[in-house]
A and B are shown apart, each in its own frame.
Chain A
Amino acid sequence: EVQLVESGGGLVQPGGSLRLSCAASGFTFRNHWMYWVRQAPGKGLVWVSRIKTDGSFTSYADSVKGRFTVSRDNARNTLYLQMDSLRDEDTAVYYCARDYASIPDYWGQGTLVIVSS
């Protein structure tokens, strides 16, 4: 059974940093591209980032480019999202998701990030 478990969310002040993790199991992690997608409270889903199987290629939404960095550790079956220079508008539940045929298929339960002073 595919499982994705996010962690690392919490309350952080504007301008601060946070690193999210996503532990994967139930599939061959190193064979799949991975996504981060976020959802602000009461709002819709927004694509954040995607990373290639070996971590050699990454892409980002314009709203986070230059502030967020996606990475992965295939030996630990873990995906990361380093978030720097956080803003109020980054407040959201952050989901990791597995790639299948260039779309997200399985999703984790999400981790909540609150940016507030």
Chain B
Amino acid sequence: QSALTQPRSVSGSPGQSVAISCTGTSSDVGSYNFVSWYQQHPGKAPKLMIYDVSVRPSGVPDRFSGSKSGNTASLTISGLQAEDEADYYCCSYAGSQSWVFGGGTKLTVL
């Protein structure tokens, strides 16, 4: 149950696009499409942004998109806005009724 690997930080200017990667193994990300992404502002609860690799829940702006290739999933945020500055976590089903999260990525909007 090792954590998925995410970059510690990414940054971008308003209006730009950024991508956050989430690398796992053939036992988790590579084997299942139960990959989700969460946004967490300081002191707040995580908020679901993407599930099933690329599905946006109702109310999440279409600036947020998800994809997966092999053992790596990605979250792309286009048209960056100041309110997007937060920590982002990926999560994957890891088999045998277990789940694994990534270490988190701090997004800074310059």
| Residues in chain A within 8 A of chain B (CB atoms) | 35, 37, 44-47, 50, 57, 59, 61-63, 95, 100-110
Rounded to whole angstroms, the CA-CA distance of A44 and B1 in the bound complex is 14
Size of B's binding interface in residues, CB under 8 A: 26
Beta-carbon contact of B36 and A47 below 8 Å: no
- Give every chain A residue within 8 A of B99 (Cβ-Cβ): 35, 47, 50, 103
| Residues in chain B within 8 A of chain A (CB atoms) | 1, 3, 34, 36, 38, 40, 44-48, 51-52, 57, 89, 91, 93, 96-104
Among B40, B46, B57, B93, the most chain A Cβ lie within 10 Å of the Cβ of B46
Beta-carbon contact of A59 and B104 below 8 Å: no
**17 additional A-B residue pairs with CB within 8 Å, beyond A44-B89, A45-B89:** A44-B101, A44-B103, A44-B104, A45-B101, A46-B101, A47-B91, A47-B99, A61-B1, A100-B51, A101-B51, A103-B34, A103-B36, A103-B48, A104-B46, A104-B48, A106-B48, A110-B45
Beta-carbon contact of A102 and B1 below 8 Å: no
Rounded to whole angstroms, the CA-CA distance of A50 and B36 in the bound complex is 16
Beta-carbon contact of B93 and A45 below 8 Å: no
| Minimal beta-carbon separation of A58 from chain B (angstroms) | 9
- Give every chain B residue within 8 A of A61 (Cβ-Cβ): 1, 98
Partner of A103, one of B51, B96, B102: B51
A-B contact list, 8 entries, CB within 8 Å: A45-B38, A45-B91, A47-B98, A50-B97, A101-B34, A102-B34, A104-B48, A109-B45
| Minimal beta-carbon separation of A61 from chain B (angstroms) | 6
| Minimal beta-carbon separation of B37 from chain A (angstroms) | 10
Partner of B46, one of A46, A50, A63, A107: A107
- Give every chain B residue within 8 A of A62 (Cβ-Cβ): 1
